[in-house]
């Protein structure tokens, strides 16, 4: 009984933290998490980052990961200003930005 509990806790721990430990080391983006938190971005940029109104909202699918991170940090800091985009970046952590970058840069630009 106790052994099973320990195994259960271990399994839960691995499921929760496995992707972080195995997939992405410190400082790397986690695509799966990026996908899980992309909801607000999808409204303007499309759910896979291919915008349906590219004249208004740029497509961000397949963007260079480093450029994506730089753009997001510039919006967050106010160095780059856009009435619609800046508020989107303001509450994101560095990890959120890395995860979103990993997800969108892995999407195919159509
Ligand atoms: C309300 C609409 C809206 C939402 C929601 C939104 N964006 Fe944007 N985004 C824009 C607009 C408009 C621009 C272009 C701004 C500019 O170039 O100054 C932009 C630009 C960008 C760029 C820079 C693209 C480039 O080519 O330089 C990135 C990266 C980006 N958005 C990512 C995101 C992410 C990630 C989210 C979700 C957290 C998000 N956006 C949510 C409207 C939005």
Residue pLDDT, tens place only, 53-87: 999 999 999 999 999 999 999 999 999 999 999 99
Q: What pLDDT is recorded for position 89?
A: 98
Count Cβ neighbours within 10 Å for each residue of 67-77 and write b for 16 or more, e otherwise: ebbebbebbbe
Per-residue confidence band for 7, with pLDDT thresholds at 50, 70 and 90: confident
Instruction: Give the Cα separation of 24 and 34 in Å (integer).
Output: 12
Q: Verify whether ligand 1 is closer than 6 Å to residue 24 (CB atom).
A: no
Q: What pLDDT is recorded for position 1?
A: 65
Mutate to test the pocket of ligand 1, among 58, 63, 64 (most ligand atoms within 8 A of CB): 58
Instruction: Give the Cα separation of 76 and 94 in Å (integer).
Output: 10
Instruction: Give the Cα separation of 88 and 102 in Å (integer).
Output: 17
pLDDT digits (tens, 9 = 90+) for 16-56: 665 554 444 457 999 999 999 999 999 999 999 999 999 99
Mutate to test the pocket of ligand 1, among 45, 89, 92, 96 (most ligand atoms within 8 A of CB): 45
Q: What pLDDT is recorded for position 13?
A: 66
Cβ pair 32, 94 in contact under 8 A: no
Instruction: Give the Cα separation of 59 and 33 in Å (integer).
Output: 20
* CA–centroid distance, residue 5 to ligand 1 (Å): 46
Q: What pLDDT is recorded for position 38?
A: 98
Does 104 have pLDDT greater than 80?
Answer: yes
Q: Verify whether ligand 1 is closer than 6 Å to residue 51 (CB atom).
A: no
């Amino acid at each position: 009984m106790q052994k099973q509990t320990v195994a259960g806790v271990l399994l839960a721990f691995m499921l929760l933290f496995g992707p972080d430990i195995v997939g992405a080391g410190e400082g790397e983006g986690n695509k799966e998490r990026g996908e899980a938190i992309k909801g607000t971005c999808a409204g303007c940029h499309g759910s896979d980052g291919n915008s349906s109104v590219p004249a208004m909202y740029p497509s961000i699918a397949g963007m260079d990961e480093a450029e994506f991170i730089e753009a997001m940090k510039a919006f967050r800091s106010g160095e780059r200003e856009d009435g619609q985009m800046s508020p989107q970046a303001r509450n994101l952590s560095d990890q959120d930005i890395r995860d979103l970058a990993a997800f969108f840069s892995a999407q195919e630009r159509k």
